[in-house]
Amino acid sequence: MAKIDSIRTTLDAQLQPEHLEVFDESHMHSRGQETHYKAVVVSASFDGLNAVKRHQRVYVAMGELMGQIHALAVHTYTPQEWSEQKVAPASPTCRGGHA
């Protein structure tokens, strides 16, 4: 199974989001393929939590998968926040680095 599919399956099973998008952004970086990802997670379980607590939930849900990738950009929203925004911010352009 591709890493992106593993990330989707894991986040879906662990967080049961109302909306989930996972993107492989490795092409934007110099490290090659299957290293950089972006996850947009919309879940009622984020209600009342600040950004740090939301991200911690995502990292716990990812478990051992976090050790298999270089970077995961996380964008978390409650259903109410997502209904107002409907889009996550674009990822910045890579500023360099080595493979």
Q: What CA–CA distance (Å, rounded) separates 72 from 8?
A: 12
For the whole model, what pTM was predicted?
0.86
Q: What CA–CA distance (Å, rounded) separates 43 from 20?
A: 9
**Domain 3-85 CATH superfamily:** BolA-like (3.30.300.90)
Could you read off the pLDDT of 30-82 as tens digits, one per residue? 656 778 899 999 999 999 999 999 999 999 999 999 999 888 999 999 999 99
Domain boundaries, the chain: 3-85
pLDDT at 31: 57
- Cα angle value 37/59/63 (rounded, 5°): 100
- Band of pLDDT at residue 95, cut at 50, 70 and 90: low
pLDDT at 99: 44
Packed helices 51-62 and 3-15: angle between N→C axes, nearest 10 degrees: 120
9 has pLDDT over 50: yes
Which helix (H) or strand (E) element contains residue 59? Answer: helix 51-62
